Structure 1
């Protein structure tokens, strides 16, 4: 093996490592989610995809991607509940919900007027028929993955 062959092989390995790291960095910063259902009509329709930027800077009016709550226990217990596969269901619901922030920490919750607890957000569907914080309670801020910046 000549030195130019070795150099070419090392360059190829370096390019592959850099590409893998680039993809990893993009995935840490961005999230592509498919909208399922009609809960966000008319802003977003079933089957559309949204690009969300991972951020902790969330404000009222933003459309966000959040971890889906446990169907019975809500967001507060979503991390402790068994997954759908472990519970014996054949198809698990989407792990992500796309909702609009109706109120942030300390702001009055729609319907009750009570303040949203610190570190939580009150998330609503644009379509009143959708499930949201009215059923599952305020969403902990650490379960909000990012803010939607574009739909496709």
Structure 2
């Protein structure tokens, strides 16, 4: 094969590799999550889907996507944000008083609540480590 015959397959291979890396990068920055349960009603209904963007800029009042805690152990300090996902609203930031509890939110944690008090949230599992929070909800579908 001549060098010009190698050019097209090489360019196709490079294009496929570039596309695969682009998809990988997008998946690291964005996540589409289906809302399960009624804990966020009336703002978000069960079955709705939300698009979240990875960010560290989180404020009280933001709706966030976070890694669900272990049912028995809660959130571990070393947890990394990965599914299964919860969708909750940030109720208190580090240093703020914890709603309905004594004390303040520890550094590096968030206190999250569902809009509907029937669901599980920080009232049951305690403040969420920042490492468990994927990012903020950008849009509902």
Could you tell me the TM-score, scaled by structure 1's length? 0.85
User: What is the match of residue 67 of structure 1?
Assistant: 67
Q: Which residues of structure 1 form unaligned runs of 5+? A: 80-93
Could you tell me the TM-score, scaled by structure 2's length? 0.91
- 1:25 Cα deviation (Å)? 1.1
- 1:6 Cα deviation (Å)? 1.4
User: What is the match of residue 36 of structure 1?
Assistant: 36
1:1-150 to 2 correspondences below 5 Å? 1-76=1-76, 79=79, 95-150=84-139
Structure 1 runs of 4+ aligned residues shifted over 4 Å read: none
CA distance in 1 between counterparts of 2:11 and 2:77 reads 49
CA distance in 1 between counterparts of 2:86 and 2:78 reads 13
Cα pair 2:60 2:91 within 8 Å, conserved:
yes
Q: Which deviates further from its counterpart, 100-109 or 43-52?
A: 43-52
Other structure's SS at 2:44 match = coil
Q: CA RMSD in A?
A: 1.6
Other structure's SS at 2:12 match = helix
- 1:3 Cα deviation (Å)? 3.6
CA distance in 1 between counterparts of 2:101 and 2:107 reads 16
Cα pair 2:77 2:129 within 8 Å, conserved:
no
CA distance in 1 between counterparts of 2:78 and 2:124 reads 14
- 1:55 Cα deviation (Å)? 1.1
Q: Which residues of structure 2 form unaligned runs of 5+? A: none
CA distance in 2 between counterparts of 1:13 and 1:53 reads 30
